Amino acid sequence: MSYLTDAKIKELELKANQIRQDIIEMLLSAGSGHSAGPLGMADVFTAFYFHILNHDPKNPEWPERDRLILSNGHIVPVHYAVMAEAGYFPKEELKTLRKLGTRLQGHPEREKLPGVETTSGPLGSGLGQAAGYAYAARMDGKKFRTYCFMSDAEQECGATWEAAMFAGKNHLSNLTALIDRNNIQISGFTEDIMPLEPLRQKYEAFGWHVLEINGHDFNEIAGAVERAKEIFEKPTIIIARTIPGKGVDFMEGQYEWHGKPPQKDEAEKALKQLRTLQGKIISEHE
């Protein structure tokens, strides 16, 4: 089933590609930060901010907005880049990433930047925060939905499973979580360090509805969110298989890029690839 028109897919592909370019430029300017995860999640974030979320960049505290909780805060460059593209703040501010006094900290801080729902850093905290938002929304009769983005490696954290039990027990159908299943963490591949599989069956055992998608296919991303809205008796988790470093061939699939930024020559090479891809996207849809 197609959830998006060809024109919409082109729009999202072009935005995601621009987001990846912004990420590279931000990291180069900062001289520190994470490359692989932000590049890998650019399509998911783009789909959410430009198609899925009910939000208003001109009114970030709008009470009826959907809540998006970023649990793995180290990939926040992609969050900042998408927010700037959506109009939450000027794009010029992206170059202040990780600078002294900036609103764009290396991990997001709620009180510094309107539109950021929670402060995150310690892995494993986001699902509990999101479950709390969803539970409170139900108590208050609110219709907004809560989304939580997590890394796959933070499934190694015990607090994640406490939150999963809470959400399953309370049938939080207004909560949808998404795992960035890129198979890497800072010191290697997840299945070598602490095997996560069978991940689907684990969440099903905790009372969740589970969907698995290609995290770079906009139709699959949009379709999974729509299917989650049809589930009324339990929370939904989307396992999104992504390629870390997506769009930059020397970063793709390489765990070494989890926690380091590109140097000047590497950034120039990455930007050249992404700008070439920009032209291909345009020509493919003509």
Q: For residue 265, what are the contacts with CB-CB under 8 A and spacing of at least 6?
A: none
Determine the Cα–Cα distance for residues 162 and 175; give it in Å rounded to an integer: 15
Q: What angle do CA 50, 53, 57 make, to 5 degrees?
A: 70
At 54, the amino acid letter reads N
Determine the Cα–Cα distance for residues 259 and 266; give it in Å rounded to an integer: 15
* Per-residue tokens: 144: 């907004």
Q: In the CATH scheme, what is the code of domain 6-284?
A: 3.40.50.970
Q: Return the bridge partners of 239, or none.
A: 179, 212
Question: Could you report the per-residue pLDDT of 192-211, keeping only the tens digit for each?
Answer: 999 999 999 999 999 999 99
Using DSSP's 3-state secondary structure scheme, residue 148 falls into strand
Determine the Cα–Cα distance for residues 17 and 275; give it in Å rounded to an integer: 8
Residue 175 — left, alpha, or beta (φ > 0 → left; ψ -120 to 50 → alpha)?
Answer: beta
Question: What angle do the packed helices 218-229 and 6-30 form, to 10 degrees?
Answer: 100
Question: Could you report the per-residue pLDDT of 66-78, keeping only the tens digit for each?
Answer: 999 999 999 999 9
Question: Could you report the per-residue pLDDT of 234-269, keeping only the tens digit for each?
Answer: 999 999 999 999 999 999 999 999 999 999 999 999
Question: Could you report the per-residue pLDDT of 82-106, keeping only the tens digit for each?
Answer: 999 999 999 999 999 999 999 999 9
Domain locations in the chain as residue ranges: 6-284
